[in-house]
Amino acid sequence: MHPFRLPVPELWEDILQKIKASGMRMVSIYTHWGFHAPTPDSVDFSTGPRNITRFLEMAKDNGLYVTVRPGPHINGELNGGGMALWATTDEYGALRLNGTAYTEAWTPYQDGISQLTRPYQLTEDGTVLMYQIENEYAKQWRDEKARIPNLEAVSYMEKLEENARTNGIVVPLIHNVPNRSGPSWSKDYDTVDAGGNVDIYGLDSYPQCWSCILDQCGPITPWAVSNYSDQFQYASPKQPSLMPEFQGGATTPWDGPLGGCPERTGVGFVNFYYRDNIAQRVTMLTLYMIYGGTNWGWLAAPFLGSSYDYGAAISEDRSIGDKYYEIKNLGLFTRVADELAHTERVGTGLDYTNNTDLFTTELRNPDTGAGFYVIRHADTASASEEWFVLKVNTSIGEFFVPKISSAVVLSGHEGKILVADFHFGDHTLYYSTAEILTYSIIDGRPVLVLWTPRGRSGEFYLKGAKEGTISSGPPVTIVAIEHGIIIGYYDQKEVMTVLDFDNGVRVVLVDRKTAYEVWAPALTNDPKVPVDQTALVIGPHLVRSALLTDNTTISLTGDTNRTTPLEVFTFSSMTRILWNGMDLPTTQTNHSTLRATIPAPPSTDSFQPPQITSWKSHDALPERHPSYPDTGPAWSPLNTTTFPLSANPHGFHTGTLLWRGHFTTTPNNTNTTTPTPIAIHLAIQGGAAHGWSAYLNGVYLGSWPGRKDTAVSNLTLAFPEEVLVENMRENVVLVVSNGDVERCGKRVGLTVFREELWASQPSLN
Q: Which domains does the chain have, with CATH numbers?
A: 3-335 (3.20.20.80), 338-534 (2.102.20.10), 535-601 (2.60.390.10), 627-753 (2.60.120.260)
Q: Which of 77, 134, 136, 742 is catalytic?
A: 136
pLDDT of 373-404, one tens digit each? 999 999 999 999 999 999 999 999 999 999 99
Q: What is the DSSP letter of 49?
A: G
Angle, helix 100-117 to helix 52-61, in steps of 10 degrees: 40
pLDDT band at 262 (very low <50, low <70, confident <90, very high): very high
**Mean pLDDT, to the nearest integer, of 662-674?**
68
- Residue 514: is it exposed, middle or buried by C-beta count within 10 angstroms (0-12/13-18/19+)? buried
pLDDT surpasses 60 at 48:
yes
User: What was the pLDDT predicted at 268?
Assistant: 97
d(CA 305, CA 252): 8
The contacts of residue 739 (CB under 8 Å, 6+ apart) are 302, 654, 686, 687, 688, 689, 690, 691, 706, 757
User: What was the pLDDT predicted at 337?
Assistant: 98
Omega before 70 cis (within 30°)? Answer: no
Question: Which neighbouring-strand residues pair with 588?
Answer: 594
d(CA 616, CA 585): 52
Give catalytic status of residue 245 as yes or no: yes
**Mean pLDDT, to the nearest integer, of 679-699?**
91
User: What was the pLDDT predicted at 757?
Assistant: 57
User: What was the pLDDT predicted at 166?
Assistant: 98
Omega before 521 cis (within 30°)? Answer: no
Report the predicted TM-score, pTM, of the whole model to 2 decimal places. Answer: 0.94
Q: Give me the chain's average pLDDT, please.
A: 93
d(CA 399, CA 599): 49
pLDDT of 497-541, one tens digit each? 999 999 999 999 999 999 999 999 999 999 999 999 999 999 999
Give catalytic status of residue 91 as yes or no: no
pLDDT surpasses 80 at 26:
yes
Q: Is 159 helix (H, G, I), strand (E, B) or coil?
A: helix
pLDDT surpasses 80 at 728:
no
pLDDT of 342-362, one tens digit each? 999 999 999 999 999 999 999
User: What was the pLDDT predicted at 752?
Assistant: 38
Q: Phi and psi (nearest 5°) for 738?
A: -140, 145
Concatenating the DSSP letter of every residue in 426-487 gives TEEEEEESSEEEEEEEETTEEEEEEEE-TT--EEEEEET---EEEEESS--EEEEETTEEEE
User: What was the pLDDT predicted at 756?
Assistant: 54
The contacts of residue 484 (CB under 8 Å, 6+ apart) are 430, 461, 462, 463, 464, 465, 466
d(CA 177, CA 196): 14
pLDDT of 413-459, one tens digit each? 999 999 999 999 999 999 999 999 999 999 999 999 999 999 999 99
Q: Which of 245, 435, 459, 517 is catalytic?
A: 245
